Homo-oligomer: A and B are copies of this chain.
Amino acid sequence: MTTSPHELDAADPLASFRDRFVIDDDLVAYLDGNSLGRLPRATLERLAVFVREEWGGRLIRGWADSWVDLPVTVGDELGAALLGAAAGQTVVADSTSVCIYKLLHAASGLRPGRDEIVIDATNFPTDRYLVDSVAAARGMTVRWLEPDLVENVTIEVLAAALGDRTAVVVLSHVDYRSGTLLDLPGLTAAVHAAGAVVIWDLCHSAGAVPIELDAAEVDFAVGCTYKYVNGGPGAPAYVYVARRHLAEAHQPITGWWSAADLFAMSDTYESSPTIRRMLSGTPPVAGLLAVQEGVRLIAEAGVEAVRTKSEALTAYAIELVDEIGLEIVTPRDPALRGSHVTVRHPDARAVADRLVERGVVPDFREPDLIRLGLSPLTTSFAEVSAAARILAEVVAPIG
């Protein structure tokens, strides 16, 4: 017999954060905050003020007022609150894909005598596609790790692939399908021991899992802001470049926003000596402000408290799915998982469709996976309980 979800919610120190979000949809349970987070009330207000008063009222003067520094100021806030990154190493800019592309070039340039980029076959498609593209453009080779989906990239799996040809390793902190949480400090140390540099994709971890990039001596990192950071659909991504690499980190999309003097419009290009060198063109101001509000909510809750609730939510979901008797591919050790729980079912698409019909929104992933995303600031235990009850009803006739 499981604990009552209402008791769990009553005992949850972060329960009141749910009221900081707009929740007036028609859903029984929203378990897709790991794809698109909910709308913070502060963001609703901030965007209204921005559009009406800043764009509408200040017009071009808004750039000088504050917008021009937002990529760095929001980057610094995000780095401090979510990434364990000291100021001056994080900037918010462009989509995740564009950011990964820039980092792949910057990282590869640090190891000119080496010609291999290592990535795992379980990594998110955009990471894999971009590694292929950049490797081809630079005359490098891609070395594929083929880990088990659930165990994912262990130090043993990685070590077998590293060598004196390894220039760059690209890893995702939490696997987008299984939810497996990799050993970021351990794997980073293994990459460094081989003389290579690492790019960590934090899309499925940042905002739900504590991260200490500076302490782990990570080289580069990237992540999106529309999942646990609740920045909204298509909100801009961020890049982290360790200070020790900044002077030698060259990315090829050298637009005017990456230049040493943005408004000098000089004849020759000189890249900014700061993290601004990772920018390219004019950044999306509305998106930056939404990211800032999302970051501030997590900072207020505290990443450690967020993690504690995430572990409780995933444990509770695993317990309820076990009662239904479905296969779970997410690690049962809380230290080895992020904030989503993935169920395997041969008719996963049909199950997901029926859940949506019943007001439970999960996430289907080809070919047979259903992700239950548990977003610590917005998901209640009552929601998980209601979703599990409906899941049991939905799978019963499907078998």
Q: Which residues of A contact B (CB under 8 A)?
A: 22, 24-25, 27, 30, 32, 35-36, 38-39, 43-44, 47-48, 51-52, 55-63, 67, 94-98, 100-101, 121, 124-126, 128-130, 132-134, 137, 224, 226, 232-237, 252-257, 259, 263-267, 269, 280-288, 356, 361, 363, 365-366
**Contact assessment for B52 and A98 in the assembled complex, using a CB-CB cutoff below 8 Å:** no
**Contact assessment for A267 and B234 in the assembled complex, using a CB-CB cutoff below 8 Å:** no
In the bound complex, what is the Cα–Cα distance between A95 and B257 (angstroms)?
Answer: 11
**Contact assessment for B97 and A95 in the assembled complex, using a CB-CB cutoff below 8 Å:** no
**Contact assessment for A58 and B25 in the assembled complex, using a CB-CB cutoff below 8 Å:** yes
* CB of A172 to closest CB in B, whole Å: 13
Instruction: Please judge, given known A-B contacts A60-B36, A97-B280, A282-B224, whether A265 and B44 are in contact too, CB under 8 Å.
Output: no
In the bound complex, what is the Cα–Cα distance between A44 and B55 (angstroms)?
Answer: 10
- CB-contact partner of A95 in B24, B255, B356, under 8 A: B255
In the bound complex, what is the Cα–Cα distance between A95 and B283 (angstroms)?
Answer: 7
Residue of B nearest to A93 (CB): B95
Residue of B nearest to A287 (CB): B284
**Contact assessment for B234 and A97 in the assembled complex, using a CB-CB cutoff below 8 Å:** no
**Contact assessment for A281 and B233 in the assembled complex, using a CB-CB cutoff below 8 Å:** no
Q: How many copies does the complex hold?
A: 2
Residue of B nearest to A266 (CB): B125
**Contact assessment for A95 and B133 in the assembled complex, using a CB-CB cutoff below 8 Å:** no
- CB-contact partner of A264 in B58, B132, B363, B366, under 8 A: B366
**Contact assessment for B58 and A281 in the assembled complex, using a CB-CB cutoff below 8 Å:** no
User: Can you list 10 A-B pairs, Cβ within 8 angstroms, ordered by A?
Assistant: A24-B56, A25-B56, A60-B361, A94-B281, A95-B280, A95-B281, A95-B283, A96-B282, A101-B252, A125-B265
In the bound complex, what is the Cα–Cα distance between A67 and B383 (angstroms)?
Answer: 26
Most buried by B among A58, A134, A356: A58
- CB-contact partner of A259 in B47, B125, B137, B283, under 8 A: B125
- Tell me which residues across on chain B come within 8 A of A129, comparing CB atoms: 254-256, 259, 269
**Contact assessment for B253 and A133 in the assembled complex, using a CB-CB cutoff below 8 Å:** yes
Instruction: Please judge, given known A-B contacts A252-B101, A256-B125, A284-B287, whether A52 and B44 are in contact too, CB under 8 Å.
Output: yes
- Tell me which residues across on chain B come within 8 A of A59, comparing CB atoms: 25, 27, 30, 32, 36, 38, 361
Instruction: Please judge, given known A-B contacts A44-B56, A56-B39, whether A97 and B257 are in contact too, CB under 8 Å.
Output: yes
* CB of A103 to closest CB in B, whole Å: 12
- Tell me which residues across on chain B come within 8 A of A366, comparing CB atoms: 263-265
- Tell me which residues across on chain B come within 8 A of A236, comparing CB atoms: 284
5 nearest A-B pairs in the assembled complex, by CB-CB distance: A97-B255, A95-B281, A97-B281, A234-B284, A39-B56
**Contact assessment for B56 and A233 in the assembled complex, using a CB-CB cutoff below 8 Å:** no
In the bound complex, what is the Cα–Cα distance between A24 and B96 (angstroms)?
Answer: 37
Most buried by B among A62, A95, A98, A286: A95
- Tell me which residues across on chain B come within 8 A of A27, comparing CB atoms: 59
**Contact assessment for A232 and B94 in the assembled complex, using a CB-CB cutoff below 8 Å:** no
- Tell me which residues across on chain B come within 8 A of A56, comparing CB atoms: 22, 24-25, 38-39, 44
**Contact assessment for A94 and B94 in the assembled complex, using a CB-CB cutoff below 8 Å:** yes
In the bound complex, what is the Cα–Cα distance between A47 and B286 (angstroms)?
Answer: 10
Instruction: Please judge, given known A-B contacts A56-B22, A285-B233, whether A252 and B363 are in contact too, CB under 8 Å.
Output: no
**Contact assessment for B60 and A284 in the assembled complex, using a CB-CB cutoff below 8 Å:** no
Identify 10 new A-B residue pairs, CB closer than 8 A, beyond the known A96-B281, A98-B253, A237-B281: A32-B59, A36-B63, A39-B55, A47-B47, A47-B286, A60-B363, A95-B255, A101-B255, A126-B255, A234-B286
Instruction: Please judge, given known A-B contacts A30-B59, A48-B48, whether A133 and B39 are in contact too, CB under 8 Å.
Output: no
- Tell me which residues across on chain B come within 8 A of A47, comparing CB atoms: 47, 51, 286
Residue of B nearest to A252 (CB): B133
* CB of A336 to closest CB in B, whole Å: 23
